[in-house]
Structure 1
């Protein structure tokens, strides 16, 4: 089996991207650059793009263990949304109302910023801003939908529309993530950055990155590894790799989609606690995913963890329950991968002007748009600019480290079981889950 075939098998998105996924050349040896970026996913690529916008003369190298878009950037649900891991209420409690509202406005603008860039740069990634439908299927979920609408009205930033079947949030676009990340990689290359693939980083310090292929001297170093930071010694307990899995169906007819009521450009979810997410793809498939895969001892990340027959079966059952019209649709692709979870579910951007080491991540699955905001913010920080972005409350935030094993294993998997139990509790009692209320502060709510 060829390398290209291996990478194409990563997900439905990789299988349907236009290029052949042949790896770029690895780092040939010693190198000196202005900025070295560890990771060629969306955080790294948006940072490179934004730095090029501010100073086209910068020498930028991206160091990638696999290929650009190998991880969550190329495998996610395709939601370019204004979602942030911490709720507005939680941000208000931690940072104050003004800071929380500034974060919300920045996230909402970021959805349109991604749309502006893909249009300007000719990145064909099926971007269509149709918003998110959140279905409320029980009385408990309908009350939760009402609560969300009231909270949005209280803050006066989000426009959340109450529908008979749930809510609609206009601040989300559907896209094809692998097309976005691979297209963005080509753009930053064309502007002068170099992406070294098949180049595993082993460590870093001020002004230097060590790889298995040689050392890179750099005026600034940016860590953009997200969930894969758990596999590196220096960041092993900074982030927990939580697996999220997906399925894709065969294309459905326009008539079936009309009966379902989901339009092109729309994404969807519902008000259960064990998260699900989906979209109608540009070629009329369901791309549907959710949580449910367990955390693995020692923050292990292995290819075999990308697939779980139990979780795939759960996803198909959940999809059939939501949309009986699609029960006969064959599942054509199954995949998954790790996303990055900080201990307090608070995404972050930071840059130390003394060491000139920066980092961003902890998106908890909300990274498809947040990476763009992170890249723009890091570019401001690296170049020394003081802007509204550098004043946002996630800048400089440091999350606590995760506990050592076995506490990390026990706690994370107990949290997963708690969300399953919360859904069962609501089905049985027809009241809002006490379990979910207790867990809320631990998951950014």
Structure 2
């Protein structure tokens, strides 16, 4: 079984970066200065470079990446380009008001389409297909939560509607269906094709991407690498997501929490006829433990979820990308959901960390006085949000006041995570509670009492 993400597999086809594409390989020698230095060559950094250079082609933009383009969550995720947001509209409205919340939700919906438009304009074949998101209710308790979500959607205009069991089965022939929620504002992509194509695009626009350059410190007007190299710039933008916790001044800004994924071998046409997902829908379930799946461009099922432990001190190592217990659970859950799979084999299993702010609130910001900017804390919903962040950072850096710079996530400052060992205890307790709440509901068929304890612990 492959240990690298399916998206990196030569058979998917081989990624541009893996081929050491000449457009990305020719850059050598870290410069001493630039107009803009972006730390991180994932979606946040690359979308920002793209929109900056589209608006101001004369800018000298340098992107520094510790590993390679798409090494982090941008090249490992489940491929959902969604208008989902980890903070509910009622929470946003309490903080920022109804008008600002409605603007935020509208911007997220538009961003899904903007990713498709931008990919098309850059000539990126990433399998973008806007088939919507189907979230299954497979117990009475899940159906109750799902219907409450539909009522909330009606209040906020997010487009989520309820499907009965028969209509749900027309989309996905899963077992134990009570129904599902469906939201049209979601697309499927091959994420590595998108991130690599974006890297090629910004390189053509004039950006210089330096791979294998690890940044040790970010300060006003400069970044310093682990090799002691200093790059001075008027604007320094951080797009490091989970790896933000490795920076000395940002250790408690986000918590790196792992999400793991498995992929099947390509399925036959008759099997797809039996399963569904004909329109490229992505799918999940109204569980407390988050899961996500999609039908890939080469006819596989990709299925992922949370559940891997948080590691003490926000530690991130390659060994933590793999957890056989979680992989086994994911394969079992997918076969339980879709017994049509029979003895179909699984070919890939991988994982990686995502960044979670203490209040689960993504943010983007820029300080004109220091020239420092940032975006992140996407809680796994970043494939679309990074595009919105790139456009917003462009307006902020260029000093433009636009509807994007007025959105409520701009300038948001989340509380810092607790110091260890409280952080380790709290996050892992939350993961245990989420699993226990799902088990409770499978037995009682009622909304879990433990779900309330989970909300109290996470503040979410």
**Shared fold (TM-score greater than 0.5)?**
yes
Report if aligned partners of 2:430, 2:457 keep a CA contact under 8 Å in 1: no
> Where do 1:356-371 residues align within 5 Å?
356-371=371-386
What is aligned with 2:159?
158
1:265 aligns with 2:266: no
Runs of 4+ in 1 over 4 A off after TM superposition: 441-445
What is aligned with 1:86?
87
> Where do 1:223-238 residues align within 5 Å?
223-238=238-253
Report the Cα offset of residue 253 of structure 1.
1.4
What is aligned with 2:213?
199
- Aligned equivalents of 1:90, 1:24: Cα separation in 2: 45
- Aligned equivalents of 1:345, 1:198: Cα separation in 2: 30
Secondary structure of the structure 2 residue equivalent to 1:242: strand
- Aligned equivalents of 1:240, 1:207: Cα separation in 2: 26
1:333 aligns with 2:327: no
Report the Cα offset of residue 158 of structure 1.
2.4
Report if aligned partners of 2:426, 2:457 keep a CA contact under 8 Å in 1: no
- Aligned equivalents of 1:76, 1:271: Cα separation in 2: 19
- Aligned equivalents of 1:219, 1:244: Cα separation in 2: 36
What is aligned with 1:12?
6
Q: Which deviates the most, 296-305 or 137-146? A: 137-146
Report if aligned partners of 2:3, 2:349 keep a CA contact under 8 Å in 1: no
Q: Of residues 180, 202, 216 in structure 2, which corresponds to 1:188? A: 202
> Where do 1:25-424 residues align within 5 Å?
28-164=29-165, 165-213=179-227, 214-424=229-439
- Aligned equivalents of 1:122, 1:29: Cα separation in 2: 29
Report if aligned partners of 1:26, 1:199 keep a CA contact under 8 Å in 2: no
Q: Which deviates the most, 369-378 or 94-103? A: 94-103
Count of matched residue positions in the alignment of Structure 1 and Structure 2: 438
Residue segments in structure 1 that go unaligned for 5+ positions in a row: 1-7
- Aligned equivalents of 2:164, 2:183: Cα separation in 1: 10
Report the Cα offset of residue 25 of structure 1.
5.9
Q: Which deviates the most, 93-102 or 371-380? A: 93-102
Secondary structure of the structure 2 residue equivalent to 1:204: strand
Q: What per-residue deviation string (whole Å, max 9, x for no partner) do you get for residues 278-337 of structure 1?
A: 000111100110001000011100000000000000000100111000131100001000
Report the Cα offset of residue 9 of structure 1.
5.3
Report if aligned partners of 2:134, 2:281 keep a CA contact under 8 Å in 1: yes
